[in-house]
Amino acid sequence: MNGHGYGFTVDEDATGKAYDSHLARRLYRYLRPYLAYIVLGTVCLLGSSASQLAGPYLVGVGIDKYIIPGRLEGFSTLLVLYMAVNTADFALRFAQIYITNYLGQRTMFDLRMSLFRHLQSLSLRFFDRNPVGRLVTRATSDVEVLNELFSTGLVTVIGDLAMIVGIMGAMLWLDWKLALLTFSILPVLLAVTFYFRKKLREAFRLVRLRIARINAFLQETLSGMSVIQLFNRQQRAREQFDALNLDHMDAHLKTVRNYAIFYPVMELIGTVSLAIILWYGGLSVMKGTLTFGVLVMFIQYVAKFFQPISDLSEKYNIFQAAAASSERIFNLLDKQERIPDPAEPVWCDRIDGAVQFRDVHFAYNEGDPVLRGISFEAEAGEKIAVVGSTGAGKTTLINLLSRFYDPQQGEIRIDGTDIRNFEKKWLRRNIGIALQDVFIFSGTIRSNIALGEENPALEKIIEAAETIGASEFIEKLPGGYDHELTERGSTLSVGQRQLLSFARVMYKNPRILVLDEATSSVDTHTEFLIQKALEKLIAGRTSLVIAHRLSTIRHVDRIIVMHHGKLVETGSHEELLQQKGIYFNLYQLQYKDQEAALPEA
Amino acid sequence: MSEPKKDGFWKSLRPLGPYLAPHRQMFWVGLACAFLTNSLGMLLPLAIKYGIEAIENGKGFRLVIYSVIVLIGIKFIQSIFRYLMRWILIGISRQIEYKIRADLFDHLETLPLAFYQRTRVGDIMSRATNDLNEVRMLLGPAIMYSFQTVVTVLFAVPVMVYIDLNLTLLSFLPLALVSLSVKKVGKVIHERSMEVQRKLSDITARVQENLAGIRVIKSFTREDSEIERFERLNLEYLQRNMHLVKVSGVLYPLMAYLGGLSTLAVLGYGGVLIVRGSITIGDFTAFLMYLGMMYWPMIAIGFVLNVIQRGRASLIRIMELFKVKSDITDPEQPAPALDQGLKVEGHISIRGLSFTYPGTSEPVLRELDLDIPAGSTLAVLGPVGCGKSTLINLIPRLFNPPRGSLFIDGVDVLDWPLAALRSSVATVPQDTFLFSESIRENILYGLERDIEEEEIIKVVRMAGLHEDISGFPDKLDTLLGERGINLSGGQKQRTAIGRALVLESPILLLDDCFSSVDTQTEETILRSLKDYTASRTTLIVSHRISTIKFADQIIVLEQGRITQRGTHGQLIEQPGYYSSLYEKQLLQERIERIS
């Protein structure tokens, strides 16, 4: 029915090998838990093949034993038997399809889970380098390709082979001479089938490639349509598209032509085999060496020969695609970029929250240092503001403290212990982070505050939101705490998103807080709410705040000034202003405007 | 998209008429081939019938051999027509698919920016590929199979009835059920596979979101609950799939089962008829063969009905795109002043220009009055969202300004032929969009004439790209990835600047095009541009004073109004947006110089 789908991805990096023993062994590991299903599916399939062989046999017997002799007693039993075989075939076929599909789905499920789990464990450095889109493709499309292997590839190959062997056996058993004569068309049949399958495979590969090009071109052109129009380049784009569109049509016409030859040629071969049976078999019947029923059996068996051979030749595609996809999947599973957990983690029930940076050097890319020997100490409960111009390395401090990255040199200590001696999860549980760009997950307000915690206590959530002052806007939303947020929280204002992220940290209630204040301006009322919230948030915690608000600078115990990856000044607001150094200038630039808006200043 | 209503069946297919018309003759030839191949096929069982009857009566070898030769001969001729039928009919559908897609693309090129801002690219693409494929199925396989079915039924049924009426009725009963089940089950399969697709896109969205937010997940140590959440979704997907298998897995076995019932009817009742002597074994075998020939057309009926239904829905979706009309078109009567060969001076005047985006109520520009003499430079400054880009976009009519508010060389831009207007204006848009071609092709993108290598080099130098390009192994012929991803933000912007400069248009629009270029490079570019812009009307939007202080005229836009205007020297003296921005930038420079 020509129902092939369009693949949007072009497997340019596919190895093209349909079988690879190493890949096969790894895949087998995913199949092993479901061996019972494979066995059961195969049994059903063999049963169904047997009943498909029995059908023609019963028809032949009916002709020879009842119809030609004209004896109808017992004929009805045969009909009932035929009915039973037919029904069994139906049930077994359905059972086999259901079982093998279940097998495929389960295996995919497991594979997808292990990919997802694996992705969760990889470090940010890995995500810096690998575009999200490609990773998503691994977990969806590539896994989907393997489904075909598991649900229609493996088991049905056994079935097709069994069917072919069964038919050949039955024919030989019935009349070996006629059987051998009929088999003479087999080489032609195989040659034609594999020849056209190969042609079609190439043609379809071309079709996929060219539809992918059309898609890529459309994607680009439609996104850049205004540029095309501004530069009067419609004609050029039209010609480019026309070339792609023509190529695409040509590729399809190739498949059309191949099918247009393939189908009739197969039918012609079928007719020739029929003619052979009719000719030789007919003469044998007349000579009395063959019965009429057997002749009819042969005619029916030969007709059943074609399907499994054609199916088998198609399986090659499935194996090839599956090999390419599993290779890509396993490559991803082999990536081991992780921030390591210590072999023997240090445990303590609670921490005081003293933070110490000791001569920390760090670069995201080699040769491009971002931190160049940072040392400072924050006592437990001390509040520190970090200031500096963009690119000074402020955000990197946060990344290192939470061990999203490890420094290349120097160490970071909490309560005197190098943080590399703690378990990552334990460490992060004790550090609360609120970032500038608040990431909202699709889900309810409630789940966004508790961030996926199992059965979060609503009272605790409300308490956190109330302390922060977020309850005011939350309660106004339709559904309140159960209000559904769209992806990326586009329905919330910038200020509301800030408050939500504060509520998250409040709910988590960590000993150490790191906070990257948002620079974007909000209305006066929201600004007031955020300032109040921030005071509540940093109270009683060791806090490291990348400050953009004057009010924040005024509320901290100490300010450290970073410049080009170094810590250049430190002290209180007044002390630093008197130094007339970088802070003095930064203050003029970033904070002075806010003086007018600050009521208590 | 809701199901199309039943009553407008032919009406909804009418748009296909013009596409079929050029192929009318070949189409008839194709149908004739379909007729021939299928009607010839009807002779095959008869040849076998005579062969078998010859065997049955022991009438001699010769008759058997004759029937075998006739059999192969007919089949051979039939194969040729079958080949022609497929090649012609399916081929036509591919050609029509090509034509519709080409027309669709032409149409899309006329649609305005506003359309692309409100329509998702993915949605347009799915219409240009998936929906178009459904329509092609309607034109090709659906027509071919339904014609085949009609011919087969017309020829086979009379012969079968001639053999025996009751046998025909009895054996047809299960086959009718085949059509029905393909139609019914096929529909359910389609619906359920749509559900599976939807779940799959949920999974995709989930993974996407998870990976985009991986930092938050890690800092709140929510990996485990994310895994659990994914597991639930994954399980739902598995269940949806099995829900689909329950019907899709039943269809093929069911068809085989019904086919078996049909054979059973012939075997049982036909056997009795043979014993009674009312039909021969030859009749019996021929009958079985006819029945076999009817099997596929009966499946096709169900299949075709579904294809038609989906094809119609898809056609309607495609036609929806064709129905969108652009409001940015050539004037019916271009201004007489724009007759042949007139040199565009580039004098822009703006009179009382207010602009509100279609579908919104808040004006973005309010009563702007500006005169930009030919060859002068205007700089526009202002906070985000003040309307700077809107002003730029109105000049080449990416949106239509109200009549009587925007003139170039004294002619309302609405009265300019679009192509003439746009080739007088070279734009560097705010969002740099490059094509996945070579740097050279990108720079020469808008140029219609051939160009000397030195000229390109000159432009590349002016755009400050020369050093960068020298560092690339393929120099100017370096291929860019999608949207130019292998270039840095600054390199992309400078390429886009080169693309505009090379045109040497009388009007140059620079919309915040130095934002990713560092200050030093920016100043170098501006210096080298001095001569170039001296003879051209230039509009430059920026956030940096250093970019614009040389402009003949500077305006500050705030909330769509001009709040300050003058030269750099005049504006730093006035308190306001301009002078405060100026002070800040001085401070920033001072900080940068420290250490």
* Side-chain-side CA neighbours of residue A526 (13 Å): 15
SS3 assignment, position A542? strand
What is the mean pLDDT of each successive set of 10 residues along chain B, which is 595 residues long? 54 87 93 91 84 75 81 91 92 93 92 84 83 90 89 88 90 88 86 86 84 81 85 92 90 89 89 88 85 84 85 89 88 71 82 86 87 90 80 89 89 86 87 84 84 86 83 82 69 87 89 77 81 87 81 88 88 85 79 67
Residues of chain A contacting B251 with CB distance shorter than 8 Å:
none
CB of A283 less than 8 A from some CB of B: yes
Nearest chain A alpha carbon to B84:
A260
What is the β-pairing status of strands B507-511 and B425-428?
Answer: parallel
SS3 assignment, position B436? coil
Nearest chain A alpha carbon to B419:
A232
- A223 vs A219, B122, B124, CA distance in Å? 6, 10, 11
For residue A51, give both structure tokens.
């009943």
Query: Angle at CA A159, nearest 5°, toward A158 and A160?
Result: 95
Burial profile B252-271: b = 16 or more Cβ within 10 angstroms, e = fewer: ebbbbbbbbbbbbbbbbbbb
For residue A273, give both structure tokens.
């085999």
In this structure, are A582 and A453 located in the same domain?
yes
Nearest chain B alpha carbon to A398:
B219
Burial profile A325-358: b = 16 or more Cβ within 10 angstroms, e = fewer: bbbbbeebbeeeeebeeeeeeeeeeebebbbbbb
Any domain includes A8: no
The CATH number covering residue A367 comes to 3.40.50.300
* Tokens 């915040």 sit on residue: B512
In this structure, are A92 and A56 located in the same domain?
yes
Would you mind telling me the total number of residues written for chain A in this entry?
Answer: 601
SS3 assignment, position B121? helix
Nearest by CB to A1, which of B211, B303, B584?
Answer: B303
Q: For A358-384, what is the mean pLDDT?
A: 87
Q: Are A464 and A506 in contact (CB under 8 A)?
A: yes
Query: Residue type at B18?
Result: P
In this structure, are A514 and A442 located in the same domain?
yes
Helix, strand, coil % over all residues of chain A, rounded to 5: 65, 10, 25
CA distance A72 to chain B (A): 8
Query: Residue type at A79?
Result: L
Asked if the Cβ–Cβ distance from B398 to A229 is below 8 Å, we say yes
In this structure, the dihedral spanned by the alpha carbons of residues B573, B578, B582 and B585, taken in order and rounded to 10 degrees, is 170
Asked if the Cβ–Cβ distance from A97 to B446 is below 8 Å, we say no
Q: How confident is the model at residue A6 (pLDDT cuts 50, 70, 90)?
A: very low
Nearest by CB to B595, which of A70, A564, A593?
Answer: A564
Residues of chain A contacting B44 with CB distance shorter than 8 Å:
271
Query: Residue type at A24?
Result: A
Query: Residue type at A493?
Result: S
Extents of the domains making up chain B: 20-164+279-323, 345-432+505-593
Asked if the Cβ–Cβ distance from B242 to A102 is below 8 Å, we say yes
pLDDT above 90 as % of chain A: 16
Helix, strand, coil % over all residues of chain B, rounded to 5: 65, 10, 25
Asked if the Cβ–Cβ distance from A389 to B68 is below 8 Å, we say no
In this structure, are A163 and A183 located in the same domain?
no
Range of the domain at A44: 16-174+318-338
For residue B109, give both structure tokens.
């090129």
**CB within 8 Å of A348: residues ≥ 6 apart:** A415
SS3 assignment, position A376? strand
Q: Are A543 and A515 in contact (CB under 8 A)?
A: yes
Give the pLDDT confidence score for residue A13 in this predicted structure. 43
How is residue A382 annotated by DSSP?
-
Q: Which residue has the higher pLDDT, A82 or A309?
A: A82
Give the pLDDT confidence score for residue B281 in this predicted structure. 83
In this structure, are A164 and A28 located in the same domain?
yes
Q: Are B492 and B411 in contact (CB under 8 A)?
A: no
DSSP string computed for A325-341: HHHHHHHHHH----PPP
Any domain includes A391: yes
For residue B65, give both structure tokens.
């051999």
Nearest by CB to A249, which of B84, B94, B271?
Answer: B94
In this structure, are A386 and A413 located in the same domain?
yes
Query: Residue type at B405?
Result: S
CA distance B37 to B29: 12
Q: Are B193 and B130 in contact (CB under 8 A)?
A: no
Asked if the Cβ–Cβ distance from A215 to B129 is below 8 Å, we say yes
CB of A206 less than 8 A from some CB of B: no
Write out the E strands in A164-257.
Answer: none
CB of A343 less than 8 A from some CB of B: no
Q: Are A93 and B253 in contact (CB under 8 A)?
A: yes
In this structure, are A333 and A391 located in the same domain?
no
Give the pLDDT confidence score for residue B6 in this predicted structure. 52
Q: How confident is the model at residue A593 (pLDDT cuts 50, 70, 90)?
A: low
Which residue out of A51, A116, A272, A299 would a mutagenesis test of the B interface target, given it has the greatest number of B Cβ atoms within 10 Å?
A116
Q: Are B262 and B175 in contact (CB under 8 A)?
A: yes
Q: Are B525 and B542 in contact (CB under 8 A)?
A: no
End-to-end Cα, chain B, rounded Å: 64
Give the pLDDT confidence score for residue A168 in this predicted structure. 92
Burial class (CB in 10 A: 0-12, 13-18, 19+), B97: buried
CA distance A297 to A284: 14
CA distance B2 to chain A (A): 24
Asked if the Cβ–Cβ distance from B227 to A75 is below 8 Å, we say no
Asked if the Cβ–Cβ distance from A589 to B52 is below 8 Å, we say no
In this structure, are A204 and A92 located in the same domain?
no
**CB within 8 Å of A120: residues ≥ 6 apart:** B210, B214, B217, B223, B226, B227
For residue B456, give both structure tokens.
């390109």
Nearest chain B alpha carbon to A592:
B584
Asked if the Cβ–Cβ distance from B102 to A242 is below 8 Å, we say yes
The CATH number covering residue A95 comes to 1.20.1560.10
CA distance B429 to A284: 86
CA distance B388 to B382: 7
CA–chain centroid gap for A543, Å, is: 38
Nearest by CB to A109, which of B215, B229, B238?
Answer: B238
Q: How many CB atoms lie within 10 A of CB A593?
A: 12
SS3 assignment, position A516? strand
**CB within 8 Å of A293: residues ≥ 6 apart:** A59, A60, A61, A62, A63, A64, A65, A68
Any domain includes A7: no
Nearest chain B alpha carbon to A222:
B121
Any domain includes A98: yes
Nearest C-alpha neighbor of A59 from the set B291, B55, B169, B152: B291
Q: Are B353 and B41 in contact (CB under 8 A)?
A: no
Q: Are B317 and B127 in contact (CB under 8 A)?
A: yes
In this structure, are A160 and A194 located in the same domain?
no
The alpha carbons of chain B give a radius of gyration, in whole angstroms, of: 36
Number of domains observed in the structure of chain A: 3
In this structure, are A496 and A445 located in the same domain?
yes
Q: How confident is the model at residue A242 (pLDDT cuts 50, 70, 90)?
A: very high
Burial profile B531-553: b = 16 or more Cβ within 10 angstroms, e = fewer: eebeebbbbbbbbbbbbbbbbeb
**CB within 8 Å of A380: residues ≥ 6 apart:** A352, A353, A354, A415, A511, A542
Residues of chain A contacting B231 with CB distance shorter than 8 Å:
113
Tens of pLDDT, residue by residue over A105-161, are 999 999 999 999 998 888 888 887 777 777 888 888 888 888 878 877 777 888 888
Q: Are A332 and A143 in contact (CB under 8 A)?
A: no
Any domain includes A129: yes
Q: Are A513 and A507 in contact (CB under 8 A)?
A: no
Any domain includes A294: no
Residues of chain A contacting B260 with CB distance shorter than 8 Å:
55, 82, 86, 89-90
Tally: H helices and E strands in chain A: 23, 12
Topology of the domain covering B20-164+279-323: ABC transporter transmembrane region fold (1.20.1560)
Any domain includes A346: no
CA distance A159 to A235: 55
In this structure, the dihedral spanned by the alpha carbons of residues B54, B56, B58 and B64, taken in order and rounded to 10 degrees, is 30
In this structure, are A579 and A476 located in the same domain?
yes
SS3 sequence of B323-385: HCCCCCCCCCCCCHHHCCCCCCCCCEEEEEEEECCCCCCCCCEEEEEEEECCCCEEEEECCCC
CA distance B36 to chain A (A): 14
Q: How many CB atoms lie within 10 A of CB B448?
A: 12
Topology of the domain covering B345-432+505-593: Rossmann fold (3.40.50)
For residue B511, give both structure tokens.
């919309």
CA distance A173 to chain B (A): 23
Nearest chain B alpha carbon to A582:
B591
How is residue A559 annotated by DSSP?
E
DSSP H helices in A335-481: 394-401, 424-429, 445-450, 458-468, 471-476
Give the pLDDT confidence score for residue B33 in this predicted structure. 93
**CB within 8 Å of B431: residues ≥ 6 apart:** none
Any domain includes A512: yes
